Structure 1
Amino acid sequence: MKSCFHSVGLPSRPLHDAVSLIADAGYEAIELNAETLPWAPAHITPAAGLAERKAVAEACRARGLAIPAVGAHIGMVSEDPVERVTAINFVKGCIDIARDVGSPFVHILSGPLAANIDRDQAWGWFTYAVELTTIHAGERGIGLGIEAIAGHLFHEVDDYHRIRRDLPGVPFKVNFDPSHLEVQKEDPRRVVDELGDLIAHVHLKDGKGLFPQFEFPPLGEGTIDFRSLIDGLRRHGFDGALSIEYEAQVYGYSESEEQILSHGRSFFDRLIA
Structure 2
Amino acid sequence: MFNQLAINSNTYHGYSLEDAVKGASEAGFTQIELAAVKDHTAHVLPDMSANELERIKDLLEEYGMTCIGIGAHSNLMREEGIANLLKSIDLATLFDCRYVVTATGDAHHDSDVIEDEKVLANNLEPVFQKCKEQGKVLTIETHGNNFATGLSLKKLAQNLNNHVKINYDTGNVIFYGDVLPYEDLELCVDEIEFIHLKDKLGANDEWNFPAIGDGNLDFKRIFTIIEQGNYQGPISVEIEFTPDGPRSLSEVNESVKRSFNYLKSLLD
TM-score (norm 1): 0.84
Number of aligned positions between the proteins: 259
Deviation at 1:251, TM superposition (A): 5.2
Query: Aligned residue for 1:260?
Result: 255
Work out the CA distance in 2 between the residues paired with 1:47 and 1:253.
29
1:220 aligns with 2:222: no
Residues 167-182 of structure 1: matches in 2 within 5 Å?
167-168=160-161, 170-182=162-174
C-alpha RMSD of matched pairs (Å): 2.4
Kept in 2, the 8 Å contact 1:32–1:71? The answer is: yes
Query: Aligned residue for 1:63?
Result: 63
Choose which of 240, 255, 269 in structure 1 pairs with 2:264: 269
Deviation at 1:220, TM superposition (A): 2.5
Work out the CA distance in 2 between the residues paired with 1:59 and 1:217.
27
Deviation at 1:254, TM superposition (A): 4.4
Identity across the alignment (%):
23
Choose which of 107, 111, 126 in structure 1 pairs with 2:101: 107
1:98 partner letter? A
Kept in 2, the 8 Å contact 1:216–1:251? The answer is: no
Deviation at 1:144, TM superposition (A): 0.7
Cα distance per residue 1:133-185 (max 9 Å; x no partner):
23222211111101011x422212332233134222x4311111111112333
Choose which of 59, 74, 89 in structure 2 pairs with 1:95: 89
2:170 partner letter? P
Kept in 1, the 8 Å contact 2:154–2:191? The answer is: no
Query: Aligned residue for 2:119?
Result: 125
Work out the CA distance in 2 between the residues paired with 1:251 and 1:216.
12
Gaps of 5+ in 2: none
Work out the CA distance in 1 between the residues paired with 2:101 and 2:34.
11
Query: Aligned residue for 1:244?
Result: 237
Deviation at 1:214, TM superposition (A): 4.5
1:180 partner letter? N
Kept in 2, the 8 Å contact 1:110–1:152? The answer is: no
Deviation at 1:230, TM superposition (A): 0.7
Cα distance per residue 1:86-125 (max 9 Å; x no partner):
10010111111010011110111012334xx5x423x343
Work out the CA distance in 1 between the residues paired with 2:235 and 2:223.
10
Segments of 4+ in structure 1 off by > 6 A? none
Work out the CA distance in 2 between the residues paired with 1:23 and 1:171.
33
**Structure 1 residues 130, 228: closer, same or farther in 2, change over 3 A?**
farther
Kept in 1, the 8 Å contact 2:7–2:238? The answer is: yes
